[in-house]
Every structure is written in structure tokens, then in C-alpha cells.
């Protein structure tokens, strides 16, 4: 299907979106226009559900602007997993992944995946999983992990230092997701290393949500690509995975949605958190759009607090 428009949309608005969609790739680095024909592009989207169509497995969403792709508007979207339609209600506020397929004419087949209800419209409705949206000041639980050396570590041991953590898995095939986070962390690690005081007062954590596959040995080999390997490199940047009985709790606290994909892949949302010296959330970045410069500024502020 192509983008389906509901009542109230004027022709001028529709034409404006079509033009904007084609132009976004010409002016936005890494934007939608960089996709080859047939390629599926993924964007983060947030908005309020206006109506739910169970028969079609779709929702009418009044959403915010999607950076680098489209302006704020109200549109009908099909759900990639129509089985969750009963868990969504008019008035719910959600975050999700918007999937669109590149064609010679533009973009087609918009679908929503990895939907997280951030505010419920029905007070009696309880989703099967309650996700927490990290907010500045939240106390971070002392989650336990196993790092690339097979050594047990825990979040609480880094109190007194500023911790930047993100979520990845080693089999991630999408360059703009886990590999991008790793490259950003590598750049941050390099900049911090130039300042002995900042290096000593900070720590990096790349956390896999695929512990069955991402064993310590795999994490060490994978992490070495970005850290340069060696004990000294991993002393400042751990690659680790939560213990099996803490995986769900950690995903929920940091608002990481993970679902099985094709051929052993995992569909997942993004989550990068900055934790202050007191073990509380300092800042949270729910997309892959943050820059190393802005995070370094935040880390310096947290270190000085």
C-alpha cells in the first residue's frame, strides 16, 4: 500500500509532504533519500493515537515531526504486528519505529514496529510489560552484568564516576544502529583519553541484550574492533551483557524494546543513558540522532557537578 490519508487533509498538504519526502534525502546526511530502491528505512516516531481499526490492523496517529523525513501530521499506519492492536487505544501516547520502503517514486508501505505505550488513555488498561522512560534524577538500579573478560560487574560499582551506557547486540546488521553507537563511543573514548582527569572520572558501557549469543568471548572480540583491544582499553570501556534474570528488568528500565526479527536478527529500539556520579540518570537519548559533541558536553557537566 502507499501512504493512506484520512479526512481533513488538504491536497496542498499532501503535495507538500510528497515533495518534502523526496527532498529530505538531498539535504539531510544519512536521511531517507540515501536509501537504494527496495531498501527499508527506519525512523523513530512519537504521537497520540486518534483511532484504532482492528479489521485493518492500523491506527490513525497524530505524530510529531520525524527528523530528516516528514513534518508533524495525522496519518493512518498499519502495524507490522497486527496482533497487538487490542493493546492500543484512542488517546494512548506511543513511541515506535516507522518502517518505509524506498521506491523509484518515493516511499511506500509505512508500518509501525516496536510500539511502546508511554501514556495510557484507559486507566484500567495494563500492558503486559511496563516500560520506564528514563528521566533525569531517576536512581539507576544496581544491575548485574558479565563483561568481555567473563568477570561479574555491576552498575553500582561505578558510583563516583560519570557513566555513559548504550545498548547493542553484536549481530546487528544495520549501520545506523549498533555500529553507529559503537563508533560514537569510540570517538568519545578517544576524546576523553586526551584528558586524564575526565578519563579517570568516567566509564563507558556497551550492553548487549542478546546474552545467549553474545558470550564474553564474542563481546571481547567484537569490542576489540572499537577499543583497539587489550586490557588497558577495556579498563575504561566494558562490553557486557546482563545476567539472564535481569535482562527484562534492564530493558524495561532503560526503555529498550526488543523483539525477534528475521533470520535470527532482533528488532530493537535505541537507548543511551548518561548516569551521574551519584548513580542517577543525568540525561537520556532515545534515538540514534545524538552527537558525540553534545554528549561530551553533558559528560563534562555531570563530572563537574
Domains and CATH numbers, the chain: 11-119 (2.40.50.320), 144-304 (3.40.30.10)
Is residue 157 pLDDT above 70, yes or no? Answer: yes
Is residue 240 pLDDT above 70, yes or no? Answer: yes
Residues in CB range of 252: below 8 A, 6 or more apart: 129, 130, 131, 132
Please report the pLDDT score of residue 55 as a whole number: 79
Q: What is the mean pLDDT of residues 285-296?
A: 95
Positive or negative torsion for Cα 192, 154, 167, 303 = negative
Q: What are phi and psi of 85, to 5 degrees?
A: -60, -35
Q: What is the largest CA-CA distance in the chain?
A: 61
Please report the pLDDT score of residue 11 as a whole number: 27
Q: Quick one: the chain helix, strand, coil %, rounded to 5?
A: 30, 30, 35
Which of 85-89, 185-189, 206-210, 240-244 is least confident?
A: 85-89
Please report the pLDDT score of residue 25 as a whole number: 38
Comparison of pLDDT for 145 and 101, the residue scoring more: 145
Is residue 40 pLDDT above 80, yes or no? Answer: yes
Distances (CA, A) of 21 to 1, 18, 45, 59, 115: 17, 5, 15, 21, 23
Please report the pLDDT score of residue 266 as a whole number: 86
Instruction: Give the chain's mean pLDDT.
Output: 85
Distances (CA, A) of 98 to 112, 131, 259: 5, 19, 15
Q: What is the mean pLDDT of residues 129-148?
A: 93
48/204 Cα distance (integer angstroms): 35
Please report the pLDDT score of residue 125 as a whole number: 59
Q: What is the mean pLDDT of residues 62-81?
A: 89
The total of other beta-carbon atoms located within 10 Å of residue 245's CB is 8
Residues in the chain: 305
Q: Which helix (H) or strand (E) holds 141?
A: none
Pair type for strands 202-208 and 237-242: parallel
pLDDT in tens, 262-288: 777 888 889 999 999 999 999 999 989
Distances (CA, A) of 175 to 71, 87, 178: 25, 32, 7
Q: At 124, is the pLDDT very low, low, confident or very high (cuts 50, 70, 90)?
A: low
Which of 4-13, 19-28, 279-288 is least confident?
A: 4-13
Strand, coil or helix: what is 252?
A: helix
Q: What is the mean pLDDT of residues 131-137?
A: 92
Q: At 104, is the pLDDT very low, low, confident or very high (cuts 50, 70, 90)?
A: confident
Q: At 75, is the pLDDT very low, low, confident or very high (cuts 50, 70, 90)?
A: confident
In a 13 Å sphere around the CA of 139, the CA atoms on its Cβ side amount to: 3
pLDDT in tens, 213-225: 999 999 999 999 9
The total of other beta-carbon atoms located within 10 Å of residue 124's CB is 5
The total of other beta-carbon atoms located within 10 Å of residue 151's CB is 12
Comparison of pLDDT for 107 and 34, the residue scoring more: 107
Is residue 305 pLDDT above 50, yes or no? Answer: yes
65/68 Cα distance (integer angstroms): 9
Q: At 128, is the pLDDT very low, low, confident or very high (cuts 50, 70, 90)?
A: low
Residues in CB range of 141: below 8 A, 6 or more apart: 155, 249, 250, 253
Q: At 26, is the pLDDT very low, low, confident or very high (cuts 50, 70, 90)?
A: very low
206/228 Cα distance (integer angstroms): 15
Q: At 37, is the pLDDT very low, low, confident or very high (cuts 50, 70, 90)?
A: low
Please report the pLDDT score of residue 38 as a whole number: 76
- Whole-structure pTM value: 0.62
Please report the pLDDT score of residue 264 as a whole number: 77
Distances (CA, A) of 216 to 149, 190, 198, 212, 246: 6, 23, 27, 10, 17
Amino acid at each position: 500500500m502507499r501512504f493512506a490519508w484520512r479526512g481533513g487533509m488538504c491536497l496542498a498538504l499532501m503535495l507538500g509532504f510528497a515533495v518534502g519526502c523526496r527532498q529530505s534525502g538531498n539535504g539531510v546526511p544519512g536521511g531517507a533519500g540515501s536509501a537504494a530502491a527496495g531498501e527499508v528505512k527506519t525512523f523513530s516516531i512519537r504521537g497520540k493515537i486518534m483511532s484504532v481499526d482492528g479489521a485493518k490492523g492500523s491506527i490513525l496517529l497524530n505524530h510529531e515531526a520525524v527528523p530528516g523525513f516528514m513534518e508533524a501530521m495525522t496519518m493512518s499506519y498499519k502495524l507490522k504486528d497486527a496482533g497487538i492492536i487490542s493493546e492500543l487505544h484512542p488517546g494512548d501516547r506511543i513511541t515506535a519505529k516507522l518502517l518505509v520502503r524506498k521506491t523509484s517514486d518515493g516511499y511506500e508501505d509505512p508500518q509501525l514496529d516496536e510500539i511502546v505505550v508511554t501514556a495510557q488513555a484507559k486507566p484500567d488498561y495494563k500492558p503486559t510489560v511496563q516500560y520506564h522512560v528514563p528521566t533525569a534524577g531517576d536512581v539507576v538500579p544496581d544491575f548485574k552484568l558479565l563483561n568481555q573478560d567473563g568477570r561479574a560487574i555491576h552498575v553500582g560499582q561505578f558510583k563516583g564516576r560519570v557513566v555513559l551506557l548504550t545498548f547493542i547486540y553484536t549481530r546487528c546488521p544495520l549501520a545506523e544502529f549498533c555500529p553507529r553507537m559503537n563508533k560514537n563511543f569510540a570517538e568519545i573514548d578517544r576524546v576523553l583519553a586526551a584528558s586524564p582527569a575526565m578519563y579517570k572520572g568516567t566509564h563507558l558501557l556497551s550492553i548487549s541484550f542478546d546474552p545467549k549469543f553474545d558470550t564474553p568471548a564474542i563481546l571481547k572480540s567484537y569490542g576489540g574492533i572499537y577499543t583497539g583491544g587489550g586490557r588497558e582499553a577495556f579498563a575504561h570501556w566494558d562490553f557486557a551483557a546482563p545476567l539472564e534474570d535481569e535482562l527484562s528488568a534492564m530493558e524495561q528500565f532503560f526503555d529498550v524494546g526488543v523483539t525477534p526479527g528475521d533470520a535470527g536478527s532482533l528488532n530493537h529500539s535505541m537507548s543511551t543513558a548518561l548516569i551521574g556520579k551519584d548513580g542517577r540518570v543525568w540525561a537520556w537519548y532515545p534515538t540514534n540522532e545524538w552527537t558525540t559533541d553534545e554528549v561530551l558536553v553533558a559528560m563534562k557537566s555531570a563530572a563537574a557537578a
